[in-house]
Amino acid sequence: MLHVTCTVTPGHSIVRLVGEIDRINVTELVHTLDRARRIDERLVVDLGQVTFSDVAGVRALSLFAGSGPTVVRDTPQQIDRLMRLLDLPSFRERGDGDGRRTDADPPASARSDGDLRGG
């Protein structure tokens, strides 16, 4: 199961992913991220609570981050390792983020909240 929250703050929106990303939910995740990108010019994707991602998830995140103004932060070591194995540049190398928390925590209120459940 993957839980996605989007918090709108001045200047950017923060999308937090919690749980597992895999081929079952990756299409819906990218669709959700595309919708979130339309909210603000700058989108921050926080992966700090992602517990697992398969190859499909890592490739989708990499393509999404490279297709528009996106900062990816708090990248788990497992995702960094998988990106190296797939010969994909890390989010840090691409300038998408340094892999660590770079923004202050947003306010507790979230603009949208949803679950992506694998079938």
Supply the pTM of this predicted model. Answer: 0.78
Residue ranges in the chain modelled with pLDDT below 70: 93-119
In which residue are the tokens 């928390």 written? 101
Distance CA 13, CA 10 (A): 8
* pLDDT tens track for 3-14: 999 998 888 899
Angle at 67 between CA 7 and CA 18, to 5 degrees: 40
For the sheet with 2-9, list strands across it. Answer: 70-73, 43-53, 12-21, 2-9, 112-116
Q: Which amino acid is at 63?
A: L
| CB of 97 closer than 8 Å to CB of 73 | yes
